[in-house]
Chains A and B, each alone.
Chain A
Amino acid sequence: MAEHALIFPNARGENLVGVFHEPLQTPRAAMVMLHGWSGTRCGPHQMLTRAARLFCEHNYAILRFDFAGRGDSDGDTELATLATMQGDARAAFAWMRAQTPAPLLVLGLCSGCEIAVASVEDSLGGAILWSAPVFAALPSEERAAKKRGANLKKYARKLLNPSTYAKILRGQIDTQAVSKAMAGGGGAASKNLESNQPGQLPRGFRNAALEKWRAFEAPRLQIYGGADPITPEALGWYRDNSGREADVALIEGANHSFYGLDWEHQVFERTLEWLGKWQREREK
Chain B
Amino acid sequence: MQAFFFPTGDALRLFGVWRGVEAARRVWVLCPPFAEEEKSARRVLTLIAQELEKRGESSLLFSFRGTGDSEGDFAAANLTAWREDLRAARDEVKKRAPHAEIALLGVRLGATLALLEAESLGAQTLVLIEPLLSGRSFLMQQSAKKQIRAQLTGEAEAKSDHSPSDDLDGWKLGAGMKTELSTLDLKREMPSFSRKAHIFQVGPRAEVAPPLQHFADGLNSQARAVVMPPFWNLIDYSDPAPLLDGLKSEVFDG
Are B236 and A259 in contact, CB atoms less than 8 angstroms apart?
no
Q: Produce 1/0 per residue, B215-254, CB < 8 A to A.
A: 0000000000000010001111100000000000000000
- Of all chain A residues, the one with the shortest Cβ separation from B233 is A174
Which residues of A220-265 have CB atoms within 8 Å of chain B's CB atoms?
225-227, 229, 252-255, 257-264
Q: Produce 1/0 per residue, A124-155, CB < 8 A to B.
A: 00000000000000000000000000000011
Nearest-Cβ distance from residue A230 to partner chain B, whole angstroms: 12
Total chain B interface residues with beta-carbon distance under 8 A: 50
A167 CB within 8 Å of chain B: yes
A38 CB within 8 Å of chain B: yes
Are A260 and B167 in contact, CB atoms less than 8 angstroms apart?
yes
B17, B69, B156, B167: which contacts A42 (Cβ < 8 A)? B69
Q: Produce 1/0 per residue, A15-59, CB < 8 A to B.
A: 101110000000000000000011111111111010000000000
Q: Produce 1/0 per residue, A156-180, CB < 8 A to B.
A: 0010010010010000111011100
Which residues of the partner chain B approach A98 to less than 8 Å between Cβ atoms?
none
A7 CB within 8 Å of chain B: yes
- Of all chain A residues, the one with the shortest Cβ separation from B61 is A72
Known: A46-B67, A46-B68, A264-B170. Is A77-B43 also a contact (CB below 8 A)?
Answer: yes
Known: A255-B153, A261-B160. Is A72-B39 also a contact (CB below 8 A)?
Answer: no
A40, A173, A186, A260: which contacts B236 (Cβ < 8 A)? A186
Known: A45-B170, A174-B145, A262-B159. Is A38-B237 also a contact (CB below 8 A)?
Answer: yes
A6, A19, A44, A77: which contacts B39 (Cβ < 8 A)? A44
Cα distance A18–B4 when bound, in Å? 10
Are B158 and A45 in contact, CB atoms less than 8 angstroms apart?
no
Are B69 and A225 in contact, CB atoms less than 8 angstroms apart?
no
Cα distance A34–B67 when bound, in Å? 18
Are A42 and B155 in contact, CB atoms less than 8 angstroms apart?
no
A3 CB within 8 Å of chain B: yes
Cα distance A11–B235 when bound, in Å? 28
Cα distance A9–B35 when bound, in Å? 28
Known: A47-B170, A186-B236, A253-B155. Is A262-B160 also a contact (CB below 8 A)?
Answer: yes
A70 CB within 8 Å of chain B: yes
B151 CB within 8 Å of chain A: yes
Which 5 A-B residue pairs are closest in the complex by CB-CB distance?
Answer: A260-B158, A253-B156, A45-B170, A227-B155, A5-B3
Q: Which residues of B contact A (CB under 8 A)?
A: 1-5, 13, 15, 17, 35-36, 39-40, 42-43, 46, 61, 67-69, 71, 74, 141, 144-146, 148-149, 151-162, 167, 169-172, 229, 233-237
The contact sample of 7 A-B pairs, CB cut-off 8 A, is A38-B234, A39-B39, A46-B67, A70-B43, A164-B152, A176-B229, A254-B155
Having A19-B69, A46-B74, A154-B152, one finds 17 other A-B pairs with CB under 8 Å, namely: A3-B13, A7-B3, A39-B39, A45-B35, A167-B148, A172-B148, A173-B148, A177-B235, A186-B236, A226-B156, A227-B154, A253-B155, A254-B155, A255-B149, A260-B158, A260-B170, A264-B170
